[in-house]
Structure formats: structure tokens, C-alpha cells
Structure 1
Amino acid sequence: MVKGVRNVEFLFEQIYQYVLRKIEQKVWNEHHKLPSIRQLAKEMNVHRLTVHKAYQLLKKNEVIYVKDKIGYYVQSNGTKQTENLENPIVSSYVRKNHLSEIHQVPVTYNFSQALIDPNLLPNHFLSDYVKKVFDLYPKVLSSYSTVQGDLELRESLTKYFINQYKKHIDATELLITSGSQQAIHIIAEAFVKAKDIILLERPSYSPAIDIFIEKGAKIISVDIHSNGYDLDQVEYLMKHYKPRLFYLNPTFHNPTGYTVPNSQRKQLVELAEKYRCLLVEDDVYHDIYFVGKPPPPIYTYDTVGTVIYVRSFCKYISPGLRIAAIICHSSLLQSLMIVKSLTDNGSPLLNQKIFLHYFSSKRMQQHLEKLRIAISIRKEIMEEKLSVTNWQWTSPNGGLNLWVRLPQHISIEKLLTKCFEHSISFVPGQICDPLKQQTSWIRLSYSYINEHQLRDGLKSFVEVVESLEE
């Protein structure tokens, strides 16, 4: 699997993921004895210290355990669940939708939902457009949409993208999906099979990690920083591992808030073309900027069909409408449409028509301008309330999240349990990490609760953290 590659860090990640896959796919069951360090090093053609490092992290994360002088064994899932009954979300190594589990816990101070306060959304205006849609399309509830999506909506979005980015797009190159998460799932179903190697940012959007892992993909991580990627690292990985795709979220990245600079975007496309790697660009927060517009999407540099662009609009208009679009070369779109047809045979037509008439109105632009100000104020409130601590973060220029580093001695698992008791939620950084290593980081979303709740909730949150430091 890794012959000829001598970068120890990347080999270590590969071995870590290799063992996880074996366990998750039930090849190695509970209490199964793992290959010895010497044996696995020989099979993988790596140094024994590389295998030892992977085994030690697996042991630390309670995926495996060791019997002195005998060897390493797969941890009992039943034992783990009993030992961590208070908070199975972080500790579980059986992959699922970790973020969804956190959202299911009812709390007063919700810092885990990267959604916008419903009171900031255009509910009254949307109700007007619902009435308008029924007048214009009296049979809308009696009709299915096409699999590809309503033609009128696709043509409207085409005009929008052409006006925004001066790049020619045809309505035949768009596929309407029920939200961006469905888009990611469709892409994974169409283009990823078990044992395919894919690149994921580290950290990354938690449900995307879960989706690709459920497909049985072998994940290699690419570190994202406030100044973008190390393109030498990206080229090395593309050249040596020949990944199927690179899933990336380069604009107001979830969870960090970072934005990849314009200077890197064209280079990423050139690397993807050179090494025949699909780029899946997830662009959810593009319109939620505070200082100035972000760089054009990576997709705008694509000339040969290397980028699959996912653009979501529902977060800042109406999450309940679940409208997103996939834009890509027609040769790629055909495969995506087959998967979409097997998934739901087309997103609801009523939702598409409501979205169409609001999206193309002057009211939407006015709404966006006010929304940016309101969310920016909430971000500033969060940063102000956290300024009394010694925690670390990089202030984002857009998006809905703050990526915060807590003191290393704080157990995030214990913190989450204690926060639930105080009716507070957040996202542990561990579930945003393909390697589950970023144990000192958390994601706090500042957009979902009102300003008063934000102040009270953050005060309580800081107090809970401080209680664990005593």
C-alpha cells in the first residue's frame, strides 16, 4: 500500500487509517489480535517506529488495547460504551454522524449549530413568496421536479454565476440538491469506492469525514492554516498517492474560518489537472463576509472539468428549503444525476420555486447586507466575552464559526458532558479531525442564538471551563 514512499508522517497517517478501516469493516472484530509491530512494518515496508507511533495513538484513543508481552488487541465496543455512557459522542470509534448526535441534545445555549438565528431570516418575505408561487404555479404540489432540478431555477443561477464571476456556465452543468450535505453524499457515491485514497483538510467538516469513511475511503489529511495550504505538501500527496479527489472548503472554512488566498486557488487547479485529481469545492458561507468579498471560487479557474463546485444558499435564506447546487463539467454531472435519481428522484419542486423567486429579488440583497452586519456583531460579542481567557483563536473574516484552542490539560470529553449539564453545546475539534487528534480544539458557532443569550451562554461556558481547571 505504501511502497516507495518514505515520508514518515504520511505513512503514520496511512497506517492509522488502515487499522481503523479493518476494525470498522469488521475484518478485525472485538479482542482480535492485531499484527505485531514487526509483522505490520514488514507488510507495509515501513520502519517499526512508524507502526509503533500509529499503534500508540490508536491505544490513546481507546481503539485498541495492549496486553503486556503479548500484543495489541481490538478494544471491546461494548466495554467502551459502558465506560463512556455519559458521553459516547467523542469517545466512540465506530464512525457515524457525530455532529448530528450533538445537535440532538436539547440545550439553551447552542454553540454547536452553524446555522443562523431564525429571527434574522426573511420569514415574512418568504411567506409572501409562497403565496406568489401558488398563484404562478397552481399545480406545483401536483408535480415532480426533474432529477436535475427545475430548469427555471437552474437558468436563474446560471445568470447569477456569470454576472458574479464572468465565467460561462450553462444550465445543463447544474444539478439542484437538497442541501450541500446531500451534494457531498452524492459525490461520494458517484466517485468514491472502498479503498480509494482521498485528501481531506485537517480539520474538516465533520459530516464530510463521516460520509467518506462510510464509503471505505482511505483518508490522507492536508493541513489548512490561516494562510492556506502548503502546496508542496499537496503536490507530494497527489504525486505519490494518486488520490481520487480532494474535498476542500477554502472560503471561510468550517470549522476554522480560514480563507485560502487567491494566489493558491489557480495553483490548486493546475496541480489537480497535472495529477488527475478531482477537487470538490464546498462553498457554503461565500456570501457571509464581514470585511470584503472573498476571492472567486476555485471553480472559476477550472477549464477542463477538474472541479466539482458545491454552492449552498439555504443557510442565510431558509434552511428549511434545503437548496444547493452542484456545478461541474457535463461528463461528471451524468454520474451525479444517476445517484441523485436513486436518492430522491429530484428535490421538491415547491422549495425550488419559492427559492427562485426570492433569490432573484432585490429584497434578498438587502437582506444579505443586514445579515452580514448582524452576524459580524455576534462574532464580536463572542470574541469580547472570550477575551478574558488565555484561549487562542484566529478572528475570521466571514462564516459562522470560531475555532478555539483551550488549555491542553482540559479534557474536552469531560467538558462536553459538563456543558450538557449546564444546557450548553459546542463541537469538539476531535470530530473535525480525520485522525481524531485535535483534542484541545473546539468549534463555537456565534450565529444561532440571540445577542442576550450569547452573552449569558458564553459567561456560563467560561465558568464551566474554569471549574475544570481548578
Structure 2
Amino acid sequence: MYFEIQRNAEISLSKQIYLSIVDQIRSGFLQEGMQLPSVRDLSKQLEVSLVTVVKAYNELEQDGFINSVQGKGTFVNAERKAAADTQTEALPFNWQLSVQNYLPRSQFARFHHVPEKIHLSSSMVDPGLLLNRPLEREIQQILSENPKIFSQYGEIQGDSQLRNAMYEYLKKAEVPAEPDNLLVTNGSQQGIDLIARTFIGPGDVVVMEAPTYPGAIDVFRGRGATILTVPVDHSGMRVDILQHLCDKHKPKIIYTIPTFHNPTGVVMTSKRRRQILDLAQSIQSIIIEDDPWSEVYFNKKPPAAIKSMDHYGHVIYLKGLSKTLAPGCRIGILAASGSIFNRLLAAKANADLGSPLLTQKILLPFIQSKKMTDHMKKLRTALRIRRDLVLDLLSQHSPDGVSWVIPEGGLNLWISLPSWIDTNLLLLEAKKQHLSFLPGSACYPVEQENHHLRLSYSYMSEQQLHQGVTTLCSILHSEISSKKLHDHSPYF
């Protein structure tokens, strides 16, 4: 069992132990009924005082995550295991618990594909809105013209034709990146992982927005990074707080999703983009600009990317093509320059020696032609209709005390509930009615806020969205009514 403790962090050691155990429970690494180390053993393992571990265990038990049984030990509480779907390991495999791992958390993967009928937990686009038939025809044509393509490796950096096409595509978006400075990745997630394994080691400081994309949190935590967080307001990352952190800690990486932020949907202003770049330049930091869906705007185009202002190679730009074009192809583009790019290319070679050639060739005709523009236009219209439907349903059916951010693009809606509602527990009730969403706690790298949830309106049909949102609102009404009844009971 791996516990991550950082003695130079601003958060207390007992709180770090608490959060590490909660993360492992919510990631499914610690399952219901599993026994935790004794206070004495964990104190010795982490080289902290008994009082520190006792304080963490007491808080975990108070919040319902663990149970202490006199004379037997401390165990993960089955009633508060945060909706983990996996079951306790069968007896023949119990020996595996003695094998050490170094994964502090992996929460996002558990919400990517779920069995629930109404799937609102992952930012995916309804397959019916994507280019299925054209892609099928393109595969057939490629195989007809080049039947040996399955016998060929692609370039480690990525197919040169695709990189040239993406150069032209990104140039229209004011993202400066020569073909030689583009790297084809297996989706943006691999891009994040390549950056982390190249530049982040234990104790290196990474600044992230709070909340942020859970998949990035999982990667940076896995590298042992000291993560500091900056809250997001209606204009994006709070630059005043970022300035304070930069002055005090000089972070190595600043990770941001400035356009249709995941999960809140807000758009960072041009002014803040400039300020963040200026800060990174002043302290010699790297900015990771994650851009999964800037083309999916519902009104006006968002501001130009931070990368468009980058003249000294401080920005590593990630553009995902999977979400909006072809998830099955798993194609992403990384743009960087100088020695940073060279080192990332080496990391890509170490990881997989290059992405599959066939999937790159399939997307090439769409990026080179007007098909891409036409597809994005239709996708924007379809997703705006679904967003508006969800907003209307929430306005009609949600109880008092529920609020949300209206996204001007992207795939997600960020919903805030009364502070006493824990959306991890709410998810357990939702699953009983075959409904899933992403609990907001998965989106916080350090201190967790449990009363938010991310609802993705892009994957389900309008009929399913109607059913899902009305069901969610009904569950919320029941929770709030039960709380009111409890608060006014003469027996409490």
C-alpha cells in the first residue's frame, strides 16, 4: 500500500494521510473490508508521530470512510467506499495485497465507461454525431490503395502528412507550430503523461486549477508531484493567487485548460492568458495548455490560445482530436519547441515507438478538407441543443440551493449543491436508478470539495438526457426533504 507524504507541502501531514487514503478508496485500490495498517505500523512506515496517524484515522472514521474494531484492526467501511464498483478480491488472489504499488490515485478511469443506462459521467460525444460512415469509407479506401499498411510502422514523431495537415489546421487557430515541432500522441492523455514522466519527479511543484481534469491529477500525483491549486472564477484561473504561489514556490509546471475549462466550462480571458504566460516567463516555468474542444463553441469563438503568444517556448500545447472527431482512433497532437520538444520525442520513443499508422491515415482527409469544418459546425449545433435542454430541465425541476455555470462551449455542466450534500453518496443513490455522473471530489487535486458534480450532456440522446436530469432532480429533492425533516425532528 502506497502513501504519499510531502513534508514541504503547506497541508498538514495528518491531512495528507487522510486524503491519500480517501483517494485510494475512491480509486478502488482499497476496497470494502480491507484492513489498513495499524497506527504503529503506518507511523513507522511514514516516519511520522503516532499522534499524526491517530488524528488522520480519527477523521477518516468520523467521516465514515473506515471502521476501527477493538482487538481486530481498522477496515475500509463498506457503506462509504465512494461508489467503487469492484468487488473484494477472491481469496486465491489475496497474496497480491503484499505487492507494493506506486499509484496514489486513479479515479478518472472508473467513470470513463460505466454500466449505468444514463451515462452522464464522462465527456464523450454521442457516436451518432460523429463521422462513422465517412470514416468507414476512408478505411476501405486506404486498405484498397495500401493493403500492406498493417505491416508498416509509422514514424515515432507521427505521420509526416498528418503533421503537415495539423500545421495548417493549427495555423488557422493562430497556434504557431511547424510540422517538425508537432508530435502525434495516443490522445491528449498520453501527451500529459509524456510531459509528466519527462519533467516531473518527486517533490517537483505543479500548479493546477481547482477544480480540474481528473485524468491530469492522476498522472501528476503518480509522479510524486507537490500539487498546488488555484481556484477558478468566471474568467478562468485566478492570476492573483497564481502570482502568490509563483513568488513563493516557483512551480516547474502550470497546467491549465483555458478554453471551456473542464469541468466548469468557463473561458479564460485574453488578459489572463497573457498574464499567465508573463508569469511563466518570469520564473522559467512550463505551461501545459490543454485544449480538448475549443472548436465546440456555441456563440462566439473563444480567445486565441496561450500558445499563440508564446515566443520563447514556455507553452506545451495539447490538442485532442479524439473527443470531437474519432474516439476510436485515439489521436492527439502535442506542440512544443526547442530542447523541450526533443526530450518529449525521446519520451514518446520510450513509451511506444510511435502511434498506429492506420488511425493517423484515416483522419488525414478530414483535417485536410472542408469536411472537418462542416462536421464541427453540425456538432456545435447538436451539442448546443442538448446543453439548452439540460439547462431548461434544471431550471424547471432542480430544488432551491442548486446552481450551475452556463457553459458557452465544450461538453460539460458544473453543478453546485448545498454544502452538506456529498455527491459521492449521492452517486450511490443515482446508480440505483441506473444513472451516473462525475462526483466533483474527483476534480480536486488537494483539498476536496464534495458538493459539486460534473454532468456531461454530450453523450446521451435528448430523451435520455430528459430522463437523467429529471431523475437527478428527483433524487436531490428527496435528499433535501430528508435533511429538512431530520433538522426539524424533536428527537434530534
Task: Please give the range of the TM-score, normalised by the shorter of the 2 chains.
Answer: 0.7 to 0.9
Does residue 80 in structure 1 map to residue 76 in structure 2?
A: yes
1:154 is displaced (CA, Å) by 0.5
Query: What is the CA–CA distance in structure 2 between the aligned matches of 1:83 and 1:155, rounded to whole Å?
Result: 54
Residue aligning to 1:45: none
Does residue 219 in structure 1 map to residue 215 in structure 2?
A: no
Amino acid at match of 1:350: L
Does residue 100 in structure 1 map to residue 112 in structure 2?
A: no
Counterparts in 2 of 1:18 and 1:467: CA distance versus 1, 3 Å: closer
- Provide the secondary structure at the position in 1 that maps to 2:11: helix
Amino acid at match of 2:441: Q
Counterparts in 2 of 1:62 and 1:82: CA distance versus 1, 3 Å: closer
Does residue 434 in structure 1 map to residue 430 in structure 2?
A: no
**1:452-467 equivalence runs, <5 A:** 452-467=463-478
- Provide the secondary structure at the position in 1 that maps to 2:323: helix
Does residue 119 in structure 1 map to residue 128 in structure 2?
A: yes
Residue aligning to 1:147: 156
**1:169-184 equivalence runs, <5 A:** 169-184=177-192
1:24 is displaced (CA, Å) by 9.0
Does residue 188 in structure 1 map to residue 196 in structure 2?
A: yes
- Provide the secondary structure at the position in 2 that maps to 1:175: strand
- Provide the secondary structure at the position in 2 that maps to 1:316: coil
Task: After superposing the two structures, state which structure 1 stretch, 287-296 or 14-23, moved more.
Answer: 14-23
Aligned residues: 442
Query: What is the CA–CA distance in structure 1 between the aligned matches of 2:295 and 2:148, rounded to whole Å?
Result: 33
Query: What is the CA–CA distance in structure 1 between the aligned matches of 2:182 and 2:333, rounded to whole Å?
Result: 6
Pairing partner for 1:159 from 152, 168, 185: 168
Does residue 356 in structure 1 map to residue 356 in structure 2?
A: no
Pairing partner for 1:249 from 241, 244, 257: 257
- Provide the secondary structure at the position in 2 that maps to 1:11: coil
Amino acid at match of 1:197: V
Residues 109 and 425 of structure 1 are in contact (CA less than 8 Å); yes or no, is this contact kept in structure 2? yes
Counterparts in 2 of 1:402 and 1:101: CA distance versus 1, 3 Å: same
Query: What is the CA–CA distance in structure 1 between the aligned matches of 2:294 and 2:449, rounded to whole Å?
Result: 26
Residue aligning to 2:313: 305
1:346 is displaced (CA, Å) by 0.6
Query: What is the CA–CA distance in structure 1 between the aligned matches of 2:325 and 2:176, rounded to whole Å?
Result: 26
Residues 126 and 358 of structure 1 are in contact (CA less than 8 Å); yes or no, is this contact kept in structure 2? no
Residue aligning to 1:129: 138
Query: What is the CA–CA distance in structure 2 between the aligned matches of 1:18 and 1:297, rounded to whole Å?
Result: 38
- Provide the secondary structure at the position in 2 that maps to 1:455: helix
Amino acid at match of 1:80: V
- Provide the secondary structure at the position in 2 that maps to 1:12: coil
1:53 is displaced (CA, Å) by 11
List gaps (5 residues or longer) in structure 2.
1-5, 25-35, 87-102, 483-492
Counterparts in 2 of 1:384 and 1:229: CA distance versus 1, 3 Å: same
Query: What is the CA–CA distance in structure 1 between the aligned matches of 2:58 and 2:243, rounded to whole Å?
Result: 29
CA RMSD of aligned residues (A): 3.3
Query: What is the CA–CA distance in structure 2 between the aligned matches of 1:13 and 1:294, rounded to whole Å?
Result: 39
Amino acid at match of 1:311: K
Residue aligning to 1:11: 10
Query: What is the CA–CA distance in structure 1 between the aligned matches of 2:236 and 2:56, rounded to whole Å?
Result: 27
Query: What is the CA–CA distance in structure 2 between the aligned matches of 1:11 and 1:442, rounded to whole Å?
Result: 26
| 1:333-372 C-alpha deviation (Å, 9 max, x unpaired) | 1211222112211111000000111221212211111110
Query: What is the CA–CA distance in structure 2 between the aligned matches of 1:152 and 1:381, rounded to whole Å?
Result: 40
Query: What is the CA–CA distance in structure 1 between the aligned matches of 2:458 and 2:357, rounded to whole Å?
Result: 29
Residues 67 and 76 of structure 2 are in contact (CA less than 8 Å); yes or no, is this contact kept in structure 1? no
- Provide the secondary structure at the position in 1 that maps to 2:173: helix
Query: What is the CA–CA distance in structure 2 between the aligned matches of 1:147 and 1:455, rounded to whole Å?
Result: 45
Query: What is the CA–CA distance in structure 2 between the aligned matches of 1:60 and 1:137, rounded to whole Å?
Result: 64
Query: What is the CA–CA distance in structure 1 between the aligned matches of 2:279 and 2:55, rounded to whole Å?
Result: 31
Query: What is the CA–CA distance in structure 1 between the aligned matches of 2:346 and 2:326, rounded to whole Å?
Result: 27
Pairing partner for 1:280 from 272, 275, 288: 288
1:115 is displaced (CA, Å) by 0.5
1:421 is displaced (CA, Å) by 1.1
Query: What is the CA–CA distance in structure 2 between the aligned matches of 1:137 and 1:289, rounded to whole Å?
Result: 37
1:22 is displaced (CA, Å) by 10
List gaps (5 residues or longer) in structure 1.
4-9, 42-50, 68-74
| 1:217-238 C-alpha deviation (Å, 9 max, x unpaired) | 1111111111223212111111
TM-score normalized with structure 1 length:
0.85
Counterparts in 2 of 1:381 and 1:184: CA distance versus 1, 3 Å: same
1:170 is displaced (CA, Å) by 1.3
Residue aligning to 1:238: 246
Residue aligning to 2:421: 410
Does residue 32 in structure 1 map to residue 39 in structure 2?
A: yes
Residue aligning to 1:331: 339
Query: What is the CA–CA distance in structure 2 between the aligned matches of 1:267 and 1:406, rounded to whole Å?
Result: 32
Query: What is the CA–CA distance in structure 1 between the aligned matches of 2:37 and 2:319, rounded to whole Å?
Result: 41
Query: What is the CA–CA distance in structure 2 between the aligned matches of 1:40 and 1:260, rounded to whole Å?
Result: 41
Query: What is the CA–CA distance in structure 2 between the aligned matches of 1:61 and 1:305, rounded to whole Å?
Result: 46
1:2 is displaced (CA, Å) by 8.2
Counterparts in 2 of 1:66 and 1:198: CA distance versus 1, 3 Å: farther
Counterparts in 2 of 1:304 and 1:427: CA distance versus 1, 3 Å: same
1:32 is displaced (CA, Å) by 3.1
- Provide the secondary structure at the position in 1 that maps to 2:76: helix
1:81 is displaced (CA, Å) by 5.2
